[in-house]
Every structure is written in C-alpha cells, then in structure tokens.
Amino acid sequence: MDHEELDYFRKLLTERLATLSKGATETVSGMSEGDQGTGDPTDQATAEGDRDLFLRMRDRDWKLTGKIREALDRIEDGTYGICEVCGNEILKRRLMARPVTTLCIECKTEQEADERRRGE
C-alpha cells in the first residue's frame, strides 16, 4: 500500500475515532442529566429499556474504538492491510468497507465457516 492510501485510511480512522469519542462524551453527560425515576411504572420501564439499548450501543462503539486504535497502530508499524493469518495483502475495497479488518476475505470466510461448524 502506498503512502497516499495509508494517509487516506489514517484520516478515515482518525475521523471515525473522533466521532466515537464525541458520542461517548455525550452519553456520559446525557446519563447524568437524565430522568430520575419520574412517571408511572410503564414509563420507567420504557426509559430503562431505552437506556439499556443505548448503553449496549455505546459498548459496541467502545469496542470499535479499540479496533480503530489498533488499526492506526498497524498503519504506523507498517502492517496495515496485511492479513494476520496468511500474510497476503487485504484488498482495498475490503478495507474501504471495513477499515479495521485484520483478515483478507478468504481467511475471514474460512474463519466464519469454522465457527459455523463448531456451532458458535
């Protein structure tokens, strides 16, 4: 992968990281300003369900943040875009679709097939 392509992915990943960080900050401030148990039991249950869903989405974002940081580290150490299983180059169109990926499409397909065989 050439320098221009690496710069493109670095910028893409950095922007996504900034967006996720902003969302995490909004979650913390929104949770502290939220409703403190007013309303009838149905309203409270609905609000609790909404908070649970929101926190699960933020947990997913937190995990993605870690993957983005790892991808940025791979850019810096020269291993970005290299499949961690077979060592082949990951196609750019795959990286465009999933810039944090560490597997080429062939190895990812094999991994998913193994998981299905094991019933995961």
Q: In this predicted structure, what is the pLDDT of residue 34?
A: 53
> What confidence score (pLDDT) does residue 114 get?
94
Q: How much of the chain exceeds pLDDT 90, in percent? A: 61
Instruction: Please give the pLDDT value at position 81.
Output: 97
* pLDDT tens-digit readout, 33-60: 555 556 788 877 777 776 777 677 777 8
Distances (CA, A) of 90 to 94, 101, 105: 7, 9, 7
Query: Structural domain boundaries of the chain?
Result: 1-31+42-80, 81-120
pLDDT digits (tens, 9 = 90+) for 8-29: 999 999 999 999 888 655 555 4
Helix axes 41-77, 3-33, angle to 10 degrees: 160
pTM over 0.75: no
Residues 17, 12: Cα–Cα separation, whole Å: 9
CATH code for 1-31+42-80?
Answer: 1.20.120.910
Q: Are 72 and 13 in contact (CB under 8 A)?
A: yes
